[in-house]
Structure 1
Amino acid sequence: MKYVDRDLSWLSFNGRILQEIGSKDVPLMERLKFVAIYSSNLEEFYKVRVASHRFAQKYKGDKRNKYGYRPSYILQQINSIVSEQQSCLGRLFFDEIVAGLAHEGILFLCGDINKNDQELIGKYYDAHFKDEFKLIEITNETTLDLNNQSIYQLVVDGGKQYLLEMDYERWGRFITLEQTEQHIKIVQADDIFRYNIHKILGHDTEVYAFKISRDAELYIDEEQDENIVKKIKKSLKKRDTGLPCRLLFNENIPFKHINTLRKKLDLDMSSLIAGGTYHNYYDFFGFPVFEDKPHLYYKTDAKLPCKRLDNSTDWYQTVADKDVFLSYPYQSFDYVTDFLKLAAEDEAVEEISTTLYRVSKGSEVGLALERAAQSGKNVFVLSEVLARFDEESNIYWGERLEQAGAVVKYGIDKLKVHAKVFLIKRRENGVLKSYAYLGTGNLNEKTARIYADHGILTCDDRYTNDLDEVFKFLKDEQYEPHFKHLLVAPFVLRKKLTKAIHRSITKAKAGKEQLLHIKLNSLEDPEMIDLIREAADAGVKFQMVVRGISCFCPLSKAQRENVKIVSVIDKYLEHTRIYHLSEKETYLASADWMTRNLSSRIEIAFPIWDADVQNMLLQQISYQSNDRLKGRVITPEGDNAFVEGSNKLTSQEYMFELVTNL
């Protein structure tokens, strides 16, 4: 095949998360957090990607996708890979993490629990859970209307079957049974039920956990004569009742029982995924925190200062003097939100325009925009209401900002707005002067604590004039924008990237050494992959850092030798996109090289002209490409072999030095 399928490549990425779970160099509680990340990733993968394959297989026929694979084949491969990964996860969890916690005096009681601890569980049940567990008998006539992602216990007592939904919100999942100076004993609500079911039914009762995952796609009725917000709200209500796409069950359950569930849920055999006794490992995000054991966690990094802003008494003048480069989470995102707050309360500011893609419920950005609108400023907000799993939050802030007096637009017809920018217009000496922010990550102060991104505050009219064109289009889709410096998708981004790579091909054929440095979250677009192949065959070298999906498959010796792709998985989520296309052409961007980003989204790549920042970005890619501690070489085989090298620090640790020296 010419390409690696995107979903099989993504499973390889989640396999790299598994490697962090198994790494003894990662603090123990952080390994547990990676368990939660792995599980959360996989849950979304089933709700979105696997569901889409099942939908295509059922309603569109078993047709090949753009990579040349049929849904039936992909689903078969997914089943096989996930089953193997789940076995590995279970082994790491019980043999290393649970055992490691016990060594620290944190006794997480799970699996086979001894009689003394069973007695403790029994006493806790009698004191706190008696009469809490309500069983529903399953008969031939029973229709199963199961909640998405909820854990259920199937209880078998002789010839009868019962169902119990685990209500973690009400009971909690992780419950402290006992705490002394020497140890703390923690148990899951599942086991409180499991070890006391005999008090409800009998001693020969069997208990098996299972859950379903449902299709999370929003199927919006385009024929309805309603605005997009109403359509989204209606669709969101259906998300929890979407078609089941996976039935995850305790591997010890007799087949006859799981087959009964499968039939009642109208699932085929490929939907069955065997797991362990416990599910929803992403709940470990809520595992108790042990502040008296700091060695079990990553060291808390002090935020690096932005000296130019910290030493400034006039941020506008500082930004006007020279662009301010920022890097998160090495520096605080507060610099961005504080600049917006400053503009919101500044009487000289007349207009603020921004895009919002993923917004937290308590968003500082949202609050600043609200204050600006309430004070009478012209505030325009493009709220992308189709940002998956953030639809409710974006609608919430959109409606709240509308009430404050802002003009809010919910997306663009047939285009998602993924750019991360704002534009401020301030009257100075009778003239409107523009200030802007352009970034690679969302305007979200919470994710900025764990996502590694870059951004700039600027007054340079080469940025602001083009950004003004972007917002004119966002406000009026009939407007034809023109750009001189920003590479904006879907208008010019793909075309400019193609032209730049063709330029390198011409130079390489003329005998000039060509090395392109590219950093992305995903490399998926077949056209860009074909272009990389053409360039590599001509002698152009690519040093690429791709965190997640990579569909690149070398088809020649030159392609294997000239294209190096590395993925870095570490403490922070690598999220920055960097395109270094020539000695004088470096861009930061919101766009990955995926078909959707280049052809069906509003994305912005913005040039970096400052030589020091350019050099820092190149060093970042170089450090990551040679990171033997956290870097994995990406190949079509997906074996995730670590990079060969001699570095003693991780590339993220080196980043502190790079950002400090700017």
Structure 2
Amino acid sequence: MNYTDRDLNWLSFNERILQEAENEDSPLMERLKFIAIYSSNLEEFYRVRVASHRFAQRYHDDIKNKYGYRPSFLLQQITQVVSSQQERMGKVFYSKILPGLAKEGIHLLTDHFSEEDENQMGTFYDNQLEGNFTIRDITEEVKLQLKNLTVYLYAVTKERQFIIELDYKTFGRFIDVSTSDKEKRVVQLDDIFRSNTSKFLGEKSEIFAVKISRDAELYMDEEQEEDIVVKIEKSIVNRDTGLPSRLLFDENIPFKYIDTLRKKIEVDMSGLIPGGRYHNFYDFFGFPASEKHLLYPEIPKIQCHRLDNSSDWFEEINKEAIFLSFPYQSYDYVTRFLKIASEDKDVEEINITLYRVAKTSAVCQALEAAAKSGKKVFVLDEAQARFDEASNIYWGERLRKAGATVRYGINDLKVHAKICTIKRRESEGIKTYAYMGTGNFNEKTAEIYGDHALLTTQTNYTKDLDEVFAFLKDNSYQPKFETLLVAPFNLRSSIEHLIDNEISLVKKGKKGKLTIKLNSLEDTLMIDKLRHAADEGVEIDLIVRGICCYHPQTKLQEKNIKVVSIIDRFLEHTRIYHFHNDGVSKVYLASADWMTRNLSRRIEVAFPILKESAKALLLAELDAQLHDNKKGRYVACKKENQFIEGDETIGSQEKMFELVSKYNF
């Protein structure tokens, strides 16, 4: 095959997450968080990607995808890989993490409950749980409609079988049954039911956990002439009843019972995924233990002295562009600037794109205040940001009520750019202040996502951003760009031209080199372009956190293309494009990965970094990640997911903290 399938490769990425759970150099609670991340990732994978393959297999005749693979083959391969990974996850959880926590006096009890534990569990059941659950007989006649992502207990007695639905929302997953301050003893809600089955079934029984995952795609009826918000709200409800993508079950359950359940909820055999005694490991994000020595040490936020020492942020930004790096610096600089703009009497207009925002969004609150004060506020609110649809609609409607003009996306194009312009009346006329970033306007995720942003009034940026917003407001407008690379208009062609330039330099006997940092590399045309450049002698370094569909086909590609991935404390989210350009580097920050959807079906913005000190920081960041032998892995080669060799003793994120600390802010 010419390309690695994106979903099989995604499983390789999730294996890197699992490696961090296995990493004994990391604090115990952080390793438990990586278990939760692995589980959460896998859940979304089944709800989105696996569900799409099942849909294609059932309704589209099992035809090959653009990488050359049939859904039936992919589903088979996915089941094999996931089963192996789940076994690894169970091993590290039970044989490493739980014993490690026990040594710290934190006991998550999964068996061997003491008499006191049993008494505590019985008391909890009697006082709180009795009668507060749903139990149904499983008979040939009964129809079962299991809720999406809900853990059920399958109870088997001598004569009957039951499905029990637990109320996790009310009681939580983890129950503290400690009787002294010397140690923490925690049980799971599942086990409280298990230890009290005789009270509600009246006889001896076996209990097994099962869970269904359903298709998360929003299948909206395009023929219905309804408001996009109404369509989405209707479709979100259907996620709870969508096509099953997997049935996860305790591997100890006798097959005849799980086969009965499978048939009742219409899951085919490839959708059966054996697991352990417990499911929904992503609930461990909320495990009740916060001992500091079991977590990453807190790191101080690096100040932006120019803003901190300024009484007039508009004046400071107007003097010279301000470059920011998250999470090493506080996202408060962004939310505070929007708040200042919302309150400033000379600000007349704010334009912004929103893709994913925090639930209690300080960004949206500032926009709301601006609209209420009479300022013109335009919000492109991407209503189809998967799993954030309801939150985005909530904020969109709230901003609309405040007086903002809100548009929920564009037909056939998702808006993924992270841009904002603020129009302010000053002595010389209207001045435009611009924000461009690689991450969402989300102060919560900015605490754990590695991203960069620029605040500027430079007209070469602001003129092009005005063109973007003119198109977002009126899709019949034909935008023109001189500085920014904007998908789907000139981003792909500009990247191709920049790669061609490196090829031409090699042909002239000069050095051709490019370094690209992305979340995902999936677009087949871009992969072919990189292969061609490598065959012509261009040196290519790729830092790809997640999906990478490239694999070498020639000796020159093996020699000239190096791919690494960084998985560490913070999620590497920024996109950086660096072209050597005969020693006069061209460096861009971007919202776009090199996926077909980003380059061809989304509004994305890549912006050049012109300030030499900021450019130097980004180049140092790329170099540190390419040589990170603590958290860096090789990708797309025979050493898949093996750690990078080298003598360096500092990880690239630790190095990044040093770089940002030394940067002249």
| TM range, smaller chain | over 0.9
Rounded Cα–Cα distance in structure 1 between residues aligned with 2:179 and 2:612: 57
- Residue 235 of structure 1 is matched in structure 2 by 235
TM-superposed CA distance for 1:126, in Å, is 3.2
TM-superposed CA distance for 1:196, in Å, is 1.2
Cα contact 1:439–1:455 (8 A) shared by 2: yes
3-state DSSP of counterpart to 1:200: helix
Which of 495, 504, 507 does residue 505 from structure 2 map onto? 507
1:628 counterpart = 2:629: yes
Rounded Cα–Cα distance in structure 2 between residues aligned with 1:653 and 1:279: 34
Rounded Cα–Cα distance in structure 1 between residues aligned with 2:75 and 2:591: 31
Specify the code of the residue in structure 2 equivalent to 1:287: F
Tell me the TM-score normalised to structure 2 length: 0.98
- Residue 73 of structure 1 is matched in structure 2 by 73
List per-residue Cα deviations over 1:421-471 (Å, max 9, x = no partner): 100010101511100000000000001001000000000001000000000
- In structure 2, the CA distance between the partners of 1:8 and 1:112, relative to structure 1 (3 Å rule), is farther
1:423 counterpart = 2:421: yes
- Residue 216 of structure 1 is matched in structure 2 by 216
Between 616-625 and 179-188, report the one with greater CA deviation. 179-188
Rounded Cα–Cα distance in structure 1 between residues aligned with 2:129 and 2:223: 50
3-state DSSP of counterpart to 2:340: helix
TM-superposed CA distance for 1:497, in Å, is 0.2
Specify the code of the residue in structure 2 equivalent to 1:343: A
- Residue 532 of structure 2 is matched in structure 1 by 534
Aligned-residue CA RMSD (Å)? 1.2
1:143 counterpart = 2:146: no
Cα contact 2:566–2:633 (8 A) shared by 1: yes
1:599 counterpart = 2:592: no
TM-superposed CA distance for 1:123, in Å, is 3.8
- Residue 246 of structure 2 is matched in structure 1 by 246
1:63 counterpart = 2:58: no
- Residue 451 of structure 2 is matched in structure 1 by 453
1:543 counterpart = 2:547: no
Cα contact 1:157–1:202 (8 A) shared by 2: no
Specify the code of the residue in structure 1 equivalent to 2:559: E
Instruction: Trace 1:35-434 onto structure 2 (pairs within 5 A).
Output: 35-114=35-114, 117-202=117-202, 204-290=204-290, 293-429=291-427, 431-434=429-432
List per-residue Cα deviations over 1:620-642 (Å, max 9, x = no partner): 01101111100000025673100
Count residues in correspondence. 660
Cα contact 1:12–1:638 (8 A) shared by 2: no
Specify the code of the residue in structure 2 equivalent to 1:281: F
- In structure 2, the CA distance between the partners of 1:637 and 1:414, relative to structure 1 (3 Å rule), is farther
3-state DSSP of counterpart to 1:68: coil
Rounded Cα–Cα distance in structure 2 between residues aligned with 1:503 and 1:20: 39
Rounded Cα–Cα distance in structure 2 between residues aligned with 1:74 and 1:454: 36
Cα contact 2:134–2:166 (8 A) shared by 1: no
Cα contact 2:12–2:641 (8 A) shared by 1: yes
1:576 counterpart = 2:577: no
Rounded Cα–Cα distance in structure 2 between residues aligned with 1:316 and 1:120: 60
- Residue 566 of structure 1 is matched in structure 2 by 564
Rounded Cα–Cα distance in structure 2 between residues aligned with 1:635 and 1:159: 54
Cα contact 1:176–1:187 (8 A) shared by 2: yes
TM-superposed CA distance for 1:307, in Å, is 1.0
Rounded Cα–Cα distance in structure 1 between residues aligned with 2:240 and 2:201: 31
- In structure 2, the CA distance between the partners of 1:133 and 1:477, relative to structure 1 (3 Å rule), is closer
Rounded Cα–Cα distance in structure 2 between residues aligned with 1:432 and 1:221: 44
Rounded Cα–Cα distance in structure 1 between residues aligned with 2:38 and 2:194: 26
**Structure 1 residues without counterparts, runs of 5 or longer:** none
Between 175-184 and 254-263, report the one with greater CA deviation. 175-184
Specify the code of the residue in structure 1 equivalent to 2:210: F
Specify the code of the residue in structure 2 equivalent to 1:630: K
Query: How much identity, in percent, do the aligned residues show?
Result: 57
- In structure 2, the CA distance between the partners of 1:636 and 1:8, relative to structure 1 (3 Å rule), is farther
TM-superposed CA distance for 1:130, in Å, is 3.1
Rounded Cα–Cα distance in structure 2 between residues aligned with 1:371 and 1:199: 56
Cα contact 1:625–1:631 (8 A) shared by 2: yes
Rounded Cα–Cα distance in structure 2 between residues aligned with 1:613 and 1:111: 55
TM-superposed CA distance for 1:159, in Å, is 2.1
Rounded Cα–Cα distance in structure 1 between residues aligned with 2:80 and 2:639: 14
List per-residue Cα deviations over 1:603-623 (Å, max 9, x = no partner): 000000011111111110110
3-state DSSP of counterpart to 1:135: strand
List per-residue Cα deviations over 1:230-261 (Å, max 9, x = no partner): 11111111111111110000000000000001
Cα contact 1:133–1:193 (8 A) shared by 2: no
Cα contact 1:552–1:636 (8 A) shared by 2: no
TM-superposed CA distance for 1:166, in Å, is 1.6
TM-superposed CA distance for 1:584, in Å, is 2.9
Cα contact 1:349–1:426 (8 A) shared by 2: yes
Cα contact 2:4–2:551 (8 A) shared by 1: yes
Tell me the TM-score normalised to structure 1 length: 0.98
1:437 counterpart = 2:438: no
Specify the code of the residue in structure 1 equivalent to 2:135: L
Rounded Cα–Cα distance in structure 2 between residues aligned with 1:434 and 1:639: 47
Rounded Cα–Cα distance in structure 2 between residues aligned with 1:50 and 1:386: 20
TM-superposed CA distance for 1:182, in Å, is 2.0
Cα contact 2:347–2:422 (8 A) shared by 1: yes
- Residue 17 of structure 1 is matched in structure 2 by 17
Rounded Cα–Cα distance in structure 2 between residues aligned with 1:222 and 1:455: 37
Cα contact 2:332–2:443 (8 A) shared by 1: yes
Cα contact 1:9–1:638 (8 A) shared by 2: no
Rounded Cα–Cα distance in structure 2 between residues aligned with 1:77 and 1:485: 45
- Residue 477 of structure 1 is matched in structure 2 by 475
Rounded Cα–Cα distance in structure 1 between residues aligned with 2:111 and 2:599: 48
Specify the code of the residue in structure 1 equivalent to 2:138: I
Cα contact 1:154–1:161 (8 A) shared by 2: yes
- In structure 2, the CA distance between the partners of 1:638 and 1:240, relative to structure 1 (3 Å rule), is farther
Rounded Cα–Cα distance in structure 2 between residues aligned with 1:422 and 1:431: 19
Specify the code of the residue in structure 1 equivalent to 2:542: M
3-state DSSP of counterpart to 1:47: helix
Rounded Cα–Cα distance in structure 2 between residues aligned with 1:127 and 1:202: 19
Rounded Cα–Cα distance in structure 2 between residues aligned with 1:629 and 1:584: 28
TM-superposed CA distance for 1:179, in Å, is 3.8
Rounded Cα–Cα distance in structure 1 between residues aligned with 2:375 and 2:192: 57
Rounded Cα–Cα distance in structure 2 between residues aligned with 1:504 and 1:541: 9
- Residue 643 of structure 1 is matched in structure 2 by 644
- Residue 525 of structure 1 is matched in structure 2 by 523
TM-superposed CA distance for 1:129, in Å, is 2.8
TM-superposed CA distance for 1:359, in Å, is 1.3
Rounded Cα–Cα distance in structure 2 between residues aligned with 1:593 and 1:179: 55
Rounded Cα–Cα distance in structure 2 between residues aligned with 1:351 and 1:243: 45
TM-superposed CA distance for 1:647, in Å, is 1.5
- Residue 659 of structure 1 is matched in structure 2 by 660
